[in-house]
């Protein structure tokens, strides 16, 4: 093997060890929420298909078959809705949030606001990544987007019966309203302010940078493994 390959391999091993040490040093890794584009459809499909039946029920309101999940992903309109995602270092989506704005009249909680639009939010986190704050981060990010878009009402399917989501919403300091009954509880949001505008811009920048680094590292490892047959990344 040429000497430069040996050196490169040693450097990559040291880098890998340093990154592992860094990740292990913190029990709560930094979670960056990225706004996804249509290019993420393949990642989204993999995330949703991996959800168990009971989680699909909680997420979509019914036990969607693989075929219907595939259709849902194919039909996501990225120009109308906002899809947030949290990636791991292997470029797998750990969590996904789908934020949709609908005209007030079309919402089940239409009388809850005087604003023109109401937001609806759905979120899911891979079973193995739960309890680490990913769901909270996605939820908080969606709420900030709503505030910055002049939307003050956030609706989630079966919110009241979802103990984890209720816990997350309360922890984020949200007001939970039940004027339409338990099944159609909704959350009231504060108006935007300079902090929310700045926060959203900064978080997106950081997540974009993180995504580029992860994608390039993965591409580099793949290239090295293909060309030199070493350090093959696991699927």
Ligand X SMILES: CC(C)(COP(=O)(O)OP(=O)(O)OC[C@H]1O[C@@H](n2cnc3c(N)ncnc32)[C@H](O)[C@@H]1OP(=O)(O)O)[C@@H](O)C(=O)NCCC(=O)NCCS
Residue span binding ligand X (CB under 6 A) among the ranges 4-12, 40-48, 72-80, 161-169: 161-169
Q: Which is nearer to ligand X, 36 or 168 (CB)?
A: 168
Per the listing, tokens 């704050």 go with 133
Q: Do 151 and 143 form a contact (C-beta atoms < 8 A)?
A: no
The CB-of-150 to ligand X minimum distance in angstroms stands at 23
Closest to ligand X by CB, 151 vs 165, is: 165
Binder of ligand X out of 73, 93, 125, 189 (CB under 6 A): 125
Select 98 or 217, whichever has its Cβ closest to ligand X: 98
Choose which of 16, 71, 167, 178 interacts with ligand X (CB under 6 A). Answer: 167
Among 82, 107, 124, 196, binds ligand X (CB under 6 A): 124
CA atoms within 13 A on the CB side of 227: 10
Stretch 50-79 residues interacting with ligand X (CB under 6 A): 55, 58-59
Q: How far is the CB of 129 from ligand X (least distance, A)?
A: 6
Binding of ligand X by 135 (CB under 6 A):
yes
Q: Are 162 and 58 in contact (CB under 8 A)?
A: yes
The reply to whether 133 sits near ligand X by the rule CB under 6 A is: yes
Confirm or reject binding of residue 165 to ligand X (CB under 6 A): yes
User: Does the protein bind ligand X through residue 130 (CB under 6 A)?
Assistant: yes
56-90 residues labelled b (16+ CB within 10 A) or e (exposed): bebbbeeebeeeebeeebeebeeeeebbbbbbeee
Cα–Cα distance for residue pair 181/159, rounded to 1 Å: 11
Question: 143: number of CA atoms within 13 Å, CB side?
Answer: 20
**Contact (CB, 8 A) for 164 and 95:** no
Nearer to ligand X, 164 or 206 (CB): 164
Q: Is 104 helix (H, G, I), strand (E, B) or coil?
A: helix
Q: Which is nearer to ligand X, 40 or 58 (CB)?
A: 58
169 binds ligand X (CB under 6 A): no
Least distance in angstroms from the C-beta of 18 to ligand X: 27
**Residue number with the smallest Cβ distance to ligand X:** 135
Residue 189 and residue 109: Cα distance in Å, rounded? 14
Q: Which of 133, 139, 145, 128 is nearest to 196 (CA)?
A: 145
Residue whose C-alpha is closest to residue 33's, from 82, 90, 84, 83: 84
| Interface ranges with ligand X (CB under 6 A) | 55, 58-59, 122-125, 130-136, 156-157, 162-165, 167-168, 171
């Amino acid at each position: 093997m040429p000497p430069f390959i040996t050196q490169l391999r040693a450097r990559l091993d040291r880098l890998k060890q340093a990154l592992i040490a860094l990740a292990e040093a913190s029990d709560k890794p930094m979670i960056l929420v990225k706004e996804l584009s249509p290019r993420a459809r393949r990642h989204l499909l993999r995330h949703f298909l991996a959800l168990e039946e009971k989680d699909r029920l909680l997420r979509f309101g019914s036990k969607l078959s693989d075929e219907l999940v595939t259709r849902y992903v194919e039909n996501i309109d990225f120009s109308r809705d906002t899809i947030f995602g949290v990636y791991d270092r292997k470029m797998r989506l750990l969590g996904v949030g789908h934020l949709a704005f609908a005209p007030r009249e079309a919402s089940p909680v239409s009388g809850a606001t005087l604003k023109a639009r109401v937001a609806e939010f759905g979120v899911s986190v891979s079973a193995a990544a739960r309890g680490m704050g990913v769901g909270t981060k996605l939820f908080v990010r969606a709420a900030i987007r709503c505030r910055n878009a002049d939307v003050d009402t956030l609706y989630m399917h079966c919110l009241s019966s979802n103990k984890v989501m209720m816990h997350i919403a309360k922890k984020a300091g949200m007001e939970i309203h039940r004027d339409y009954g338990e099944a159609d509880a909704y959350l009231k949001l504060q108006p935007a302010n300079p902090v929310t505008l700045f926060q959203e811009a900064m978080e997106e920048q950081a997540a974009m940078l993180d995504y580029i680094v992860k994608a390039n590292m993965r591409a580099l490892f793949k290239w090295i493994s293909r060309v030199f047959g070493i350090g093959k990344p696991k699927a």
